[in-house]
Amino acid sequence: MQAHASPSRSWKKTFLLVWGGQSVSLLGSNLVQFALVWYLTEQTGSATILVIASLMNLLPMMLLGPFAGALVDRWSRRRVMVAADALAAGLSILLGYLFWADVARIWHIYLILLVRAVGGAFQFPAMQASISLMVPERHLSRVAGWNQTVSGLINIAGPPLGAALLALLPMYGVLAVDVGTALIAILPLLFIRLPYPPNQDRKAFVPPRELLRDVQLGLRYVRCWHGMVWVMGIAVLVNLIVNPAYTLTPLLVTRIFKGGAFELGILDAAWGIGVVVSGAVLGIWGGFRKRIWTALAGVTGLGFGVLLMGSAPSGWFWVTLLGMGIAGLMNPLVIGSFFAILQARVAPEIQGRIITLSLSFSSAATFLGMVISAPAADLIGIRLWFLAGGGIILASGIAAFSSRSIQSIEDNAPLYEKVCS
């Protein structure tokens, strides 16, 4: 087990102030994301334009994540979060001015989405890697549940709130709201001193060769942690199948069930409600004694939900609705427990790069899934994508329960000092 710094007795107040501010900022980012996607939809009606916009959000974490995580491990995580929120606010001001002056172009939106995503590639690991220094280990799974609940609520409330703001305000007014939420996130960080990792080798400037060595250290750390290699493999598999499946649900609704916007809307609602309910349960319960059991139960249930969605006869839409709700319920158990394992077992001074390595692999899997899912679904049929994908995930979750290296993942994390030597 790694030696972690002990959180202070007043950790709840410190954590809630920082976490609350970051959650408000996440809501603002979600509103801007919805507003810009809707603007691109109205202005162009082009699927290609929307896919490129999605890639602007995906590519930075996929390509820069490990380097961002390595820098987060060297820098003040509080300053990283302040800088990322300030960058997002500044970009919203700039884009708001372009809309106010009526000179905004599509490439402006692409560029700003890309730079915002670069900031996010630093902000997310900085926050996640700070949690284990603020929160006692026994509460990490609960905090992960709270994170999932807030994320689910934002995903449910963000689109209608964004639509309401667009109906009331011009685009630069919506962007001004994002500036306000970023400032709310920055304010507590100006007065709160977040703890540093006990063995952090702090540097303001990290030479490229040293940065590359840090990334290689992160890769070597994961490679030495055999259970984590398998768990990350399962996470890659889930992202390869489930995220593209989610983007294919409109076609599932129209082609298989001959439905429309109402059916798609209640499918989205079933997923969102499942995420919120499950996150709240995890936040209260905390999961099984062994966090990996909670994660694997979630993977197994997620596979079953996707399989159920694909197996529903054309007249039984309620079966697909049930499958989507089950998948939503399982998602926080997987993600929340996985991050809690990393926060509890990885030394704080290396957490940033381990978290971003997992996110980079998952982002790459999502990208690959998006590339192959559409032609594959047209070739083999949408239903078969759900059936095969759900079956593979279900089988992986069940098989992982019999893997000794996965079952002992929380006991066999490599010691940071040994990997560094």
- Per-residue confidence of the chain (421 residues) as pLDDT tens digits? 454 555 656 788 889 999 999 999 999 988 888 888 888 878 887 767 877 888 888 899 999 999 999 999 999 999 999 999 999 999 999 999 999 999 999 999 999 999 999 999 999 999 999 998 999 988 999 999 999 999 889 888 887 888 888 888 899 999 999 999 999 999 999 998 888 888 777 877 888 999 999 999 999 999 999 899 999 999 999 998 888 877 778 778 888 888 877 787 788 888 889 999 999 999 999 999 999 999 999 999 999 999 999 888 888 899 999 999 999 999 999 999 999 999 999 988 899 999 999 999 998 998 888 888 778 777 877 888 889 899 999 999 999 999 999 999 998 888 766 665 5
Q: Do residues 334 and 298 lie in contact, with contact meaning Cβ atoms separated by under 8 Å?
A: yes
Closest CA to 304 of 392, 406, 381, 383: 392
pTM of the model: 0.87
Q: What is the pLDDT of residue 9?
A: 63
> What values do phi and psi take at 194, rounded to 5?
-75, 145
The angle subtended at Cα 208 by Cα 207 and Cα 214, nearest 5°, is: 90
Q: DSSP letter string over 93-139? A: HHHHHHHHTT---HHHHHHHHHHHHHHHHHHHHHHHHHHHHHS-GGG
- Within 13 Å and on the Cβ side, how many CA atoms surround 78? 17
Q: Cα separation of 269 and 244, whole Å?
A: 18
3-state secondary structure of 204: coil
Residue 269, token pair as written in the block: 């609602």
Taking only the tens place, the pLDDT of each residue in 93-130 is 999 999 999 999 999 999 999 999 999 999 999 999 99
**Domains assigned to the chain:** 8-137+151-193 (1.20.1250.20), 207-412 (1.20.1250.20)
